[in-house]
């Protein structure tokens, strides 16, 4: 999907007032933020105590793995395993052989423009770009 914003709105007094109102609406005071944090901590502790009481052989780490990290799929959504798409830590190393592209008797003067571009690309990939 492409960006559908045609142009930026000019900064007018009306836009600034709306922006300030939205920031104020979304902001909490330090007291409100502390109250929300304490409530979340209390909910976490209560849920953990109930879990540990019902499962005496389990630990807090089990609680986190089984309860907190669980993703409910109420609507039957498809689960996407992002681990399949991540890059491997040990990538396969490709072997570049100039002999596959050029014959051993070939000199640089004999190469056409397309072959020179191929050779430059292979050398740049092999040795990196020089500054």
- Residue 115 vs residues 122, 124, 128, 129: alpha-carbon distances, Å: 11, 14, 19, 19
- Euclidean distance between CA atoms 70 and 51, whole angstroms: 14
- Residue 69 vs residues 37, 52, 61, 65, 87: alpha-carbon distances, Å: 19, 16, 11, 5, 23
Q: What is the pLDDT of residues 34-90, one digit of tens each?
A: 888 888 888 888 888 998 899 889 888 888 888 777 656 666 667 677 777 777 677
Q: pTM (2 decimals)?
A: 0.34
């Amino acid at each position: 999907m492409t960006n559908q914003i045609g142009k930026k709105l000019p900064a007018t007094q009306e836009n600034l007032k709306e922006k300030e109102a939205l920031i104020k609406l979304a902001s909490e005071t330090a007291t409100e933020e502390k109250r929300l944090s304490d409530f979340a901590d209390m909910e976490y502790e209560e849920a953990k105590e109930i879990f540990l009481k019902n499962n005496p052989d389990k630990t807090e780490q089990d609680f986190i793995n089984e309860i907190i990290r669980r993703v409910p799929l109420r609507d039957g959504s498809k689960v996407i395993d992002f681990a399949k798409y991540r890059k491997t830590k040990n990538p396969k190393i490709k072997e570049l052989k100039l002999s596959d592209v050029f014959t051993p008797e070939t000199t640089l003067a004999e190469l056409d423009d397309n072959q020179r571009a191929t050779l430059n690309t292979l050398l740049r990939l092999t040795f990196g770009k020089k500054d």
